[in-house]
């Protein structure tokens, strides 16, 4: 049996380690000249590898698989106060090295974009290599050059699969107000997302102001909740800076808030209690950490094979399975990769 894995990200590499350990013949195709670029980027290079808290979706994911793998290979991790796990090394390179050390490098074809997948009677041809089963782990179109747009989506469309609309997620928002004067400002605030005058989500964090919009982790997280909305109707952010300080007791804000914010309030005749930014749009995919949407979970068996072709597995971000910031996305991609590998090797 020979397995073709498309993509050397979290999902593809995790699957490769299981196949390697079980002496299964496999090849991993990677279009870039280096593997695992999003593993390296995660957690600002520290690798926010997974999260202690589990967000349940419509498919079961075994979150112990990654933790067991790290433990078995003497890769200690630690947890921050919000349940985010990081390697003790604080370096995503150590995580990538760990995975690369557990596959056979001769089985990793770099600079090898998959341009063509052809299904024959009982095998698949990928760039003219023959395989019995395929693992599609090519990730999403978030944060990449669009000329590297993910061709695997096109292949999946040929199966008449339900592919839910792709939207940039974990990304900043463009706003309607003219906020150029605030550009470059970073402030900690309680941010509340409203839609149709209903509160959708509220969180404290640092906002980073851009020329035409807002970013920062707290704002990026809001994009996850924004993307879950069925109807978008006058969405806006209410921003309360230093929510534990009572600004009403001051006669003048000038010496209590950053100068840029003071000027913005003055120019727009605003009060700190009504600092509102109306959402125009999300920033583009190239600024997003992940994509919301993808192959519908309705098309997938519990072992991550396609209902329409049980010899093709789909994992990681190609699936319509995204989460807020905090290690959930990376952790999910790794664990699905292990689950697919275990399924191929009949490991229960």
Ligand X SMILES: Cc1cc2nc3c(=O)[nH]c(=O)nc-3n(C[C@H](O)[C@H](O)[C@H](O)COP(=O)(O)OP(=O)(O)OC[C@H]3O[C@@H](n4cnc5c(N)ncnc54)[C@H](O)[C@@H]3O)c2cc1C
Q: In the complex, which residues of this chain contact ligand X (CB under 6 A)?
A: 6-12, 29-32, 37-39, 41-43, 48, 113-114, 137-139, 142-143, 150-152, 289-290, 316-317, 327-331, 333
* Least distance in angstroms from the C-beta of 51 to ligand X: 8
Closest approach, Cβ 65 to ligand X, in A, equals 14
- In 196-306, beta strands by DSSP E: 198-209, 213-215, 236-241, 276-282, 290-295, 305-306
Q: Decide whether 195 or 329 has the Cβ nearer to ligand X.
A: 329
Contact 27, 4 (CB under 8 A): yes
> Distance between CA 67 and CA 109 in Å, rounded?
27
DSSP assignment of 36-89 = -HHHHHGGGGT---EESS----SS---THHHHHHHHHTT--EEE-TTSEEEETT
Ramachandran sector of residue 7 (left: φ over 0; alpha: ψ -120 to 50; beta: rest): left
Comparing CB distances to ligand X, the nearer of 213 and 235 is 213
- Whichever of 43 and 87 has its CB closer to ligand X, that residue is 43
Return the number of the residue (100 or 181) whose C-beta is nearest ligand X.
100
Nearer to ligand X, 35 or 213 (CB): 35
Measure the CA–CA gap between 55 and 59, rounded to whole angstroms: 11
DSSP conformational letter for 283: P
Q: Minimum Å distance from CB 147 to ligand X?
A: 12
Residue with tokens 């770099």: 110
Residue 155 near residue 117 (C-beta atoms within 8 A): yes
C-beta of 12: minimal distance to ligand X in Å?
A: 6
Q: How far is the CB of 194 from ligand X (least distance, A)?
A: 27
Burial profile 7-33: b = 16 or more Cβ within 10 angstroms, e = fewer: bbbbbbbbbbbbbeeeebebbbbbbbe
Nearer to ligand X, 126 or 241 (CB): 126
- Shortest Cβ distance from residue 27 to ligand X (Å)? 11
Judging by DSSP bridges, how do beta strands 173-175 and 213-215 pair with one another?
A: antiparallel
What is the closest distance, in whole angstroms, from the C-beta atom of residue 135 to ligand X in the complex? 10
Nearest residue to ligand X on Cβ basis: 9
Give the whole-angstrom CA distance, residue 35 versus residue 93: 11
Whole-number minimum distance, CB 308 to ligand X, in Å?
A: 20
> Which three-class secondary structure state does DSSP give residue 248?
helix
User: 12 or 16, CB closer to ligand X?
Assistant: 12
- For residues 165 and 155, what is the distance between their CA atoms, to the nearest angstrom? 16
Q: Give whichever of 29 and 224 is closer to ligand X, judged by the CB atom.
A: 29
């Amino acid at each position: 049996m020979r397995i073709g894995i498309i993509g050397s990200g979290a999902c593809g590499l995790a699957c490769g380690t299981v196949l390697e350990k079980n002496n299964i013949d496999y090849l991993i195709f990677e279009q870039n000249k280096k593997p695992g670029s999003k593993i390296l980027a995660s957690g600002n290079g520290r690798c926010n590898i997974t999260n202690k808290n589990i967000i349940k979706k419509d498919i079961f994911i075994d979150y112990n698989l990654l933790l067991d793998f790290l433990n078995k290979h003497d890769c200690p991790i630690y947890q921050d106060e919000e349940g985010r796990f990081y390697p003790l090394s604080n370096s995503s390179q150590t995580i990538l090295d760990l995975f690369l050390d557990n596959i056979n490098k001769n089985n990793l074809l770099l600079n090898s974009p998959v341009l063509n997948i052809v299904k024959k009677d009982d095998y698949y041809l990928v760039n003219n290599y023959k395989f019995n089963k395929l693992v599609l782990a090519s990730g999403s179109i978030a944060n990449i050059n669009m000329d590297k747009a993910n061709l695997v989506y096109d292949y999946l469309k040929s199966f008449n699969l339900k592919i839910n609309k792709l939207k940039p997620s974990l990304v900043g928002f463009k706003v309607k107000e003219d906020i150029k004067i605030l550009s470059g400002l970073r402030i900690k605030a309680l941010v509340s997302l409203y839609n149709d005058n209903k509160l959708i989500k509220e969180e404290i964090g640092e906002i980073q102001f851009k020329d035409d919009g807002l970013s920062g982790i707290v704002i990026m997280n809001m994009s996850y909740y924004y993307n879950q909305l069925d109807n978008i109707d006058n969405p806006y952010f209410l921003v309360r800076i230093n929510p534990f300080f009572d600004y009403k007791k001051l006669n003048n804000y000038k010496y209590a808030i950053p100068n840029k914010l003071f000027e913005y309030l003055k120019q727009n005749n605003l009060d700190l209690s009504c600092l509102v930014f109306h959402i125009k749009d999300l920033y583009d995919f190239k600024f997003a950490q992940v994509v919301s949407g993808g192959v519908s979970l309705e098309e997938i068996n519990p072992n991550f094979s396609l209902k329409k072709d049980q010899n093709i597995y789909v994992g990681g971000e190609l699936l319509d399975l995204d989460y807020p910031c905090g290690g959930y996305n990376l952790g999910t991609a790794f664990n699905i990769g292990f689950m697919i590998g275990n399924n191929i090797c009949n490991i229960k």
